[in-house]
Structures are given as C-alpha cells and as structure tokens.
C-alpha cells in the first residue's frame, strides 16, 4: 500500500450522454477510498485544464451532485479537442503536465476519452517514468463511434444507438402514415466518421414489425449513386415510402465523402455534415420523390433523456474499475467491456494495456453488413441489440430533465509560470 | 335520442406524436356508447380513404390495441395532405363523400386535423344539409404548429415543445462543455412555418440555470443578418458559445424565407428546410466560428418517447369530447382547450363553431417575444411552461418503444363507381 496521493480526472474529445456516468464512477469510487486517494481534481475543459493548472476540486461538490452526474449528459467539467503531440515534437507539453501533477501531488491520472486520449494517457505514463515522477495512468473508454479496439463496445455508443433506433422507428412511422399523398423518402443523417456503428443501430428499429429503415449507408461500403437511387425507387414502389439512414462518413469508392464540408477540426479530421441534404438533392433531381431530411448532429450524442440503461451501467462501471485498477497497482491500462458467451446478454470488466489501444480503429466487421451493403445482418443485430436495452430516465422538473449543476471550484494555482495552450 | 348510426374518423395533415391519443379517445368513447354509435370506421390515409371508400373497421382491433394508440406516434390509420377544394370548384368531391357516408350509414364524421381540416369538416356538414343527408361533423384539433385559434393550445404542440426544450437543453450542454477548444455556435432548426411557437418552446430549456438558447429566430420577427451576426458574436464573447434555435419559417422583412427550397406542397405552401445550414454558412463566412447544426425535421413531431403528459391527456380529451359533443346533438363544432384562470395550471374542454375556426392562423402575440426579437418574455414562458409538464413514457421492448400494430381490416366496398383522387 502506497501513501495517499491526489488524483486527476479529465474528459476528452466529443462528449457523450454518459461520459459523466464514468466521472461519477471515478469520483464515487475515489471517495470510497479516501485512505489511498486524497483530493480528486478534474481538468477544467479536459487536459488543457491540467496544462493551464485549472483544476476543479471535486471535493467541493456534494454527494448528491456527484450522484446526479450519472444522469447528466455532456462533459460536466468541460472537455476539449486537444491532442498532445508526440514526445519528440512537443516534449514541453508533457513536462508541463508532470510539473502540474507534481505541484499538486497527483499520483493518479484518469483520462476519459477515445483512441487519441488513450494514446496520450500512455505517453504521460512513459513521460512520468522518464522524469522520475511516476504517475499511474488509466484510460477510460468513451466514444459514440464505438471504434475502440478490444472492448466489446464503447460507453457512449449504446445511448446514441438507442437514440438513433428510436428516432428511426418514430420517423419511419411518420413517413409511413403520410406517404400516400406526401413525403415518400426520408433521410436521417447520423454520426460515424469512419465506422458505421451508429447508422447500423438504426436497424434495431426494424427488428419487430417495423419496416424502417429500408436503406443504411455505411462508411465501410463505397457509395454508388446509381445503386442507391435504384434501391430507393424499389423501396418506394414496394412499400410506398423509403427511410434512409446515412453515416456522416459515407463515402465514394475513391474516399471522397458524400458531403465533404472541406473543414478540418483540431485533430486534422475532416469536419463533415450535409450528407442528408446532398442525398435528398439526388432523390429530388433523379427520382422526383418528395422527400424530407434530418440531421441529428449533437442531439444524438447529448440525448441523455433516452439513454440506454446498459450503456449507463457500463459507463459507470469503467469509471469505477479505473480507480480500482489504479489502486490495485495497475498502470497504463484501460478497462474494457467483455461480453460473456451466454444466451442472455452478460458482461464483465476486463483490461487492456494502453500501448495496444492507441490509435487503432475498430470498423464494423463485413459480416455485420448485408451482402448488398444496405442493411445489417442477423449477426450484426445480435451484437447491437443488448447495447440499447433498458431505459434510465433522468429526473424531471418543470417538464425538462434536471441535470447536475456543478460549482466547479478551482484549486489555487501553485506554479507561477503560465503555459500557453 | 336518435337511432344508432355508424361513425367515420379520419386523420389529416402532418401527423404528431399524440394524434393517435385523440383517435384512442374517439374510439374508446364510441365503444362506450354502442347503443348510439354502431361501427366506427377510420379513413385509410385520411379523407382520401373516404373518397376511395377505403374504410378501416376499427371494431376488428382489440381493446389492447386501441389502448396502445394512446402511446403511439404518427397517424396509425394513415393521414394525408389533401385539401378538399371549395364547394363551387369541386362539388363532386363532397358529393362523393356524402355518397360513401350514405352507403355505410355514417352519421358522424370526426375530422382530426389543423385549420384546413376544420374548414373541410365545416363544408361537409353544409353539404350534408344541402344533400338532405345530415351528418354530425366534429373537428378535432391537431397541429404541432399551435396555430389554431380559440383553443388555448393545440394537441401535438406540447410534445414537440417538450422535445425541442429537452433537445436544446441537452445540445446546449454539449456545446458548453466543448466550446473552449471546439464548436462555438450550434444552430438547431425546428418546425414552424408561419408561427414561432415551436422555436419559442426552446426557451423552456433556459428556465433554470441553463444558458441555452441564446438566440431564437421567429417567423414573426423580420430577420436581419447584421443584427443576428452581431448578437452571435456578443454571445460567444460573453459565454464562450452561442446556441441558436431557428424556425423553419424565419424570414426577411420582404417575406423571403432564410432558406427557401422553392418547392411547394399539395396545399401550395412553400416547402422549407435548410435554415440551419444557411445560418451556419453565414456564421462561418462572416465570423469564422466553428459551428455545428442540426435539423430535427420529422424527429420532433414523431418523438412520442419524450411526449408531454399534459399534451397526451389533452389529445385524448379532445377525442373523447368530440364523440360526447356529437352524442349531445352538437354539430359543426370543435372541442378546444380552455385554460382556467388559476395559479396552478388547470384546463377544461370548451367548444367553438367550425365556421369560426376555418383558415384563421394564431401567431405568437408580440408580447411573448422579447423586445430585441431574439427571446421569449416571462409572459410567453408562463404560457408555454405547463404545456410540456409531465412525462408519459411508452412501454419498451428490446430497447425500443412498443407501438400499436393495427390490423387495418378494410370494410367491403358498397359502391361500384371508383373515385379518382
């Protein structure tokens, strides 16, 4: 048993409706281990909060507020799109991190993010060793894109999957009821830059007697306008209407996105948007069907009101496990969800070294996508179905969810030198 | 007390997440009065179902299925965008309707729709008298746009209002947590062709400690690009981010819509869409802020999963009242919601003659909109707040709502002549 040290937790990258459930798991578990973990600081706006020495003292938040994080979407402490460069090209950033950690006696670093963040957590653990200031670094998986390797699924995905399945079901019924004299084609654009997991989840709408969605467009399958349009036509002829769910990352064979906005974000990723109106334009000009389109954008990943109970539980569990792993002496690992081989869905927590996770993207297996490239196979549905199981409603007041309101008290700075981020 | 006659119910125009709750109210109340009302037929795809003599025999549906309509969105029997012309220019349509009613001994006509439908119901009652085939015609209010006169609110509106308030709250938190290093402006486009009620409902997100939305764009207030952009800039400078909710019908002083798609629907209304991306384009080119946008489109009016309990109750109540009015000998009236003058929100059912309702649009009172034209006043919030009160969740199975599955058994046709719609 080591001596009591402080801990630092930060949220990274695009937020989800359950990332705060992971924060809740981390903080509540740390509070249960006050003999080992002193103060738990949270980065104000993620890792840049550490670089700027802007640390939120979570001990100032009541137990009720921390408990409310479990049902609160988005990043309660602030997140950021800020990727630390590699050790060679920007060693100063890592040195600054370690300096801040040292100044606040931080011995545990919990980094809640996607692939890029797991990479950063890994590098920080290496840097700590190099600088003779050992820090236990634990990654906590989070991404709506479900594209982290090793883990059966990523906390954040199940809830956006549920949102997309429910929205597709509901909008599909809307179109079905109007198609005789009005809209015949409805196109819903969902997130998923390189992996079609979110779009695939829409297929869960159709598991029962529902017909929607008729066509799903995945980034994994090269888009062919002719094939797409003739399929739309076939579905309209057959059902009277056609519901299309398109990944924002859907692309042509040559890698051009269907709607490339041409802008890039801080990580150098192309910023997408506008697939749905682009497809709608094709339908209008080539087929002439009246159509409508929706772009869910942030609504989908913020939709805590329709979160998956399974996802919330798993998000909390990986946060809890992160602290338990750290206290058990593990370093540079990430808790993962392990699906048990059982008829009824069961899962447990495992772990994987951060060195293996970093910058590996998990695309959808080809056998989850139907042969024609427009649907999800039974194998895919079996994988997806349990992830949206269960409802976990937030409390409401005045007709809207009552989400946590944090005080966000910053710790007094101890380093004179400011660091420009 | 008259003799026992059959009844006809039809859904009209854009569907809502609670129009089936009205259907449920009509059918359950009719079933409770079997001594007066024989069969209750529903139009297959609305009024065109009557013109084509495609009548769904609702008696073939179980009590459980009818009860499930209360939590089922969209038009369960099918709706249509089909406006009967005036009596002079297309008398044949009205004659056909009466002919079909006569063939199936229909003495009650319940028409569930917006302003256009109330107008139709009124004309049918006149035509019946002219043709010496009296039909009791009762309108049942329905519109997400909340633009019917006399009624305090329109069933359908409260639920879309709740969806928009909750979505704005959630997406607003998303942007707040990321704005330090990423998206600074988020734009949500919502429905509302001529009235800003739906956009206004987003202000309910901000009633507590929430900051969003910062800017609301109403069709009632002339859009001024310069004013809009300088307000966005001010909000970003002040809060770090800015959330905008824009009505699809937001327009310039000269009546041009911000994004006029140039298409028209069956009623000759301009078909809108694309306000959000248009505004986003302005923000990008003039201010350079990173931004995201969402277009909720059908998702908002189909979102039964987040319906307002108040709205569901009122939708059921107007359906029930319609049948009760008919049985009490009223004709050519529409049940309305009457808000009681009390501190706690209370309402009752009143009625208004259809002749007064037809083709009158209720816009937002100017005193509900703040002086600067970008927000909702306390008076507006007081009006809106009770309409989104209460949650009324549908049952779930396999992670998605279990909505009613109807058999939709058609009645055998009795008229040889087919009618082209």
A267 pLDDT above the threshold of 90 = no
Catalytic residues of B: 145
Record the tokens describing residue A115, joined without a space. 């692939």
Residue B269 in contact with partner chain A when CB distance is under 8 A: no
What whole-number percentage of chain A has pLDDT above 70?
95
CATH no. of B5-143+306-359+391-401:
3.40.50.450
Specify which residues B308 forms β-bridges with.
B391
User: Catalytic one among A116, A145, A147, A392?
Assistant: A145
| Partner A, chain B 326-355, Cβ-Cβ below 8 Å | none
Output the average pLDDT for chain A. Answer: 93
Average pLDDT of the segment spanning A368-377: 97
Q: Are A407 and A79 in contact (CB under 8 A)?
A: no
Q: Are B404 and B69 in contact (CB under 8 A)?
A: yes
For A150-181, the pLDDT digits (tens) are 999 999 999 999 999 999 999 999 999 999 99
Cβ-based burial of B346 (10 A; exposed 0-12, middle 13-18, buried ≥19):
exposed
For B54-113, the pLDDT digits (tens) are 999 999 999 999 999 999 999 999 999 988 888 888 889 999 999 999 999 999 999 999
Task: Specify the domain boundaries for CATH 3.40.50.450 within chain B.
Answer: 5-143+306-359+391-401
Beta-sheet strands, E only, within A144-297: 185-190, 215-217, 242-247, 260-264, 270-272, 291-295
Q: A157-303+370-388 sits in which CATH class?
A: alpha beta
Which chain A residue lies closest to B394 (C-alpha atoms)? A391
A269 pLDDT above the threshold of 80 = no
B383 pLDDT above the threshold of 90 = yes
A175 contacts in chain B (CB < 8 Å):
298
Confidence of residue A101 (pLDDT cuts 50, 70, 90): very high
Record the tokens describing residue A109, joined without a space. 């670093």
Interface contact flag, A74 B176, Cβ < 8 Å = yes
Confidence of residue A292 (pLDDT cuts 50, 70, 90): very high
For B149-202, the pLDDT digits (tens) are 999 999 999 999 999 999 999 999 999 999 999 999 999 999 998 899 999 999
Pick the CATH number of B157-303+372-388 from 3.30.390.50, 3.30.450.90, 3.40.50.460, 3.10.20.30: 3.40.50.460
- CA B292, chain centre distance (Å): 27
Pairing relationship of beta strands B400-401 and B396-397 according to DSSP bridges: antiparallel
DSSP code for A395: P
Q: Which helix (H) or strand (E) holds A325?
A: helix A309-327
| Cα B130 to Cα B148: distance, rounded to the nearest angstrom | 28
Interface contact flag, B306 A306, Cβ < 8 Å = yes
Q: Are A283 and A289 in contact (CB under 8 A)?
A: yes
CATH no. of A5-143+306-360+392-401:
3.40.50.450
Average pLDDT of the segment spanning A325-344: 96
* Nearby residues of B320 by Cβ (< 8 Å), 6 or more positions away: B25, B26, B28, B29
| Cα B228 to Cα B221: distance, rounded to the nearest angstrom | 12
- Closest residue to A79, CB basis, from B178, B186, B294: B178
| Cα B308 to Cα B387: distance, rounded to the nearest angstrom | 7
For A294-308, the pLDDT digits (tens) are 999 999 999 999 999
pTM for the model stands at 0.96
Interface contact flag, A299 B266, Cβ < 8 Å = no
What are the distances in angstroms from CA B27 to CA B8, B70, B110? Answer: 10, 11, 11
Record the tokens describing residue A211, joined without a space. 């017909």
Task: Specify the domain boundaries for CATH 3.40.50.460 within chain B.
Answer: 157-303+372-388
Residue A245 in contact with partner chain B when CB distance is under 8 A: no
Nearest one of A403, A127, A328 to B205, comparing CA atoms: A403
**Residue B213, preceding peptide bond in cis (omega within 30° of 0):** yes
Q: Are A235 and A242 in contact (CB under 8 A)?
A: yes
Task: Specify the domain boundaries for CATH 3.40.50.450 within chain A.
Answer: 5-143+306-360+392-401
């Amino acid at each position: 048993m080591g001596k009591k040290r402080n801990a630092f937790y930060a949220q990274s990258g695009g937020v989800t409706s359950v990332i705060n459930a992971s924060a809740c798991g981390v903080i509540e578990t740390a509070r249960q281990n006050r003999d080992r973990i002193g103060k738990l600081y949270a980065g104000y706006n993620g890792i840049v909060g550490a670089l700027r020495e802007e640390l939120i003292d979570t001990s100032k938040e009541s137990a009720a507020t921390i408990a409310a994080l479990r049902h609160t979407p988005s990043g309660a402490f602030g997140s950021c799109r800020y990727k630390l460069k590699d050790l060679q090209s920007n060693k100063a950033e890592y040195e600054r991190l370690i300096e801040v950690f040292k100044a606040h006696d931080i011995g545990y670093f919990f980094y809640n993010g996607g692939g890029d963040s797991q990479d950063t957590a890994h590098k920080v653990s290496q840097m700590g060793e190099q600088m003779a200031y050992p820090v236990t670094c634990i990654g906590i998986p989070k991404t709506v894109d479900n594209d982290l390797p090793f883990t059966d699924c990523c906390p954040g995905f199940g809830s956006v999957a549920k949102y997309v399945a429910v929205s597709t079901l509901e909008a599909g019924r809307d179109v079905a009821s109007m198609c005789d004299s009005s809209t015949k084609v409805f196109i819903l654009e969902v997130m998923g830059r390189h992996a079609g997991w979110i779009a695939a989840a829409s297929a869960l709408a159709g598991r029962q007697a529902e017909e929607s969605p008729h066509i799903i467009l995945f980034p994994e399958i090269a888009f062919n306008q002719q094939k797409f349009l003739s399929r739309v036509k076939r579905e309209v002829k057959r059902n009277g209407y056609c519901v299309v769910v398109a990944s924002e990352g859907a692309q042509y064979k040559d890698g051009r996105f269907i709607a490339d906005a041409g802008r890039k974000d801080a990580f150098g990723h192309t910023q997408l948007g506008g697939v749905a109106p682009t497809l709608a334009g094709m339908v209008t000009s080539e087929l002439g069907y009246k159509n409508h389109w929706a772009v869910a954008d942030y609504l989908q990943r913020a939709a805590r009101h329709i979160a998956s109970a399974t996802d919330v539980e798993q998000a909390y569990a990986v946060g809890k496990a992160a602290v338990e792993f750290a206290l058990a002496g593990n370093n540079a690992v990430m808790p993962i969800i392990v699906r048990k081989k059982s008829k009824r869905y069961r899962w447990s927590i495992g772990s994987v070294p951060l060195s293996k996770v970093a910058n590996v993207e998990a695309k959808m297996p080809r056998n989850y996508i139907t042969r024609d490239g427009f649907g999800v196979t039974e194998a895919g549905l079996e994988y997806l179905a349990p992830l949206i199981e269960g409802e976990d409603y937030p409390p409401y007041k005045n007709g809207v969810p009552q989400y946590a309101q944090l005080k966000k008290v910053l710790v007094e700075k101890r380093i004179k030198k400011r660091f420009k981020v």
